[in-house]
Structure 1
Amino acid sequence: MAVVVGFIPTEVGFKALAAARDQAERRGGPLIVVNVVREGVREDPRHADDQQLEIARDELRQSSVRVAMRQEHTEEDIADVLLDVVEEEKAELLVLGIRRQNDLARHLLGLTVQKLLLSSPSEVLVV
């Protein structure tokens, strides 16, 4: 069954990518890697550039399952884009990496993560 990972080019994002690869291999794949780019938002560290996407591809080259890399551009909510991909791919699992940068972040999840946890038709793994 398909595994979707919401990929951001950070240390946490690469940990989520590794966890998603492992899950996809256990479940028989495929693995769909999705980086969402918010239109009109410049210099967002969540947006992967070509070099960062190539590094992610390199991390996945030895995977035993089919890997698809997608960069989705939107003016909408990032969570909605990921939920659409999960439904489109009939994914069994959605993998997310979250940052824990301060005490407040440890206690409160961001709105995007909350929406994904509450709305995903699939299981959700948070790394």
Structure 2
Amino acid sequence: MAVVVGFIPTPVGFAALEAAHREAERRGGPLIIVNVVRDDVGEDPRHADAGQLERAQDMVRRSSVRIAVRQEHTDDDVSDVLVQVVEEEGAELLVVGIRRERDMARHLLGITIQKLLTSSPSDVLVV
């Protein structure tokens, strides 16, 4: 069954990608790597450029499962786009990472993660 990973080009994003790759191989894949670009936000470190997407693919290139990379552009909420991809792909798992830089971040989930946990039609793995 398909595994979707919400990918951002940060250490947290690459950790989520590794976890999603393991899950996709365990479940028989495919693995769909999704980077969501907010069109209404200019420079954003969560927007992956071509080189960062290539690096993500290189991490999982020797996989036994099919890999697909999608960069979705939206003016909507990131969580809505990820849920839509999960539905389109018939995925059984969505993998996302959370930031842990601040002390409080360890105790609170961001609004995007909260929305995904309550609205995703699949299981959600938070890394």
TM range, normalised to the smaller chain? over 0.9
Instruction: State the TM-score, normalized to the length of structure 1.
Output: 0.98
Q: Secondary structure at the match of 2:70?
A: strand
TM-score, L = length of structure 2 = 0.98
Counterpart for residue 74 of structure 2: 74
Counterpart CA distance in 1 for 2:8 and 2:126 is 13
Partner of 2:118: 118
Q: CA deviation at 1:60?
A: 1.2
CA distance in 2 between counterparts of 1:55 and 1:103 reads: 30
**Aligned: 1:89 with 2:86:** no
Q: How does 1:44-59 map to 2 (within 5 A)?
A: 44-59=44-59
Following TM superposition, the consecutive aligned residue runs of length 4 or more in structure 1 with deviations greater than 4 angstroms are none
Alpha-carbon separation, structure 2, partners of 1:33 and 1:54? 11
- C-alpha separation between the residues in 1 aligned to 2:19 and 2:104? 25
SS at match of 2:24: helix
Aligned partner of residue 124 in structure 1, secondary structure: strand
Q: Distance in 2 between matches of 1:37 and 1:101?
A: 22
Paired residue secondary structure (1:34): strand
Task: Name the amino acid aligned to 1:118.
Answer: T
Deviations 1:36-94 (A, max 9, x none): 00002111111000110110111111010000000000000000000000011110000
Q: Any gaps of 5 or more consecutive residues in structure 2?
A: none
- Please give the secondary structure, in 2, of the residue aligned with 1:32: strand
RMSD, matched Cα: 0.7
User: What is the CA–CA distance in structure 2 between the aligned matches of 1:16 and 1:102, rounded to whole Å?
Assistant: 19
Deviation track 1:76-116 (CA, whole Å, cap 9, x = no partner) reads 00000000000111100000011111122112111100000
5+ residue gaps, structure 1: none
Partner of 1:6: 6
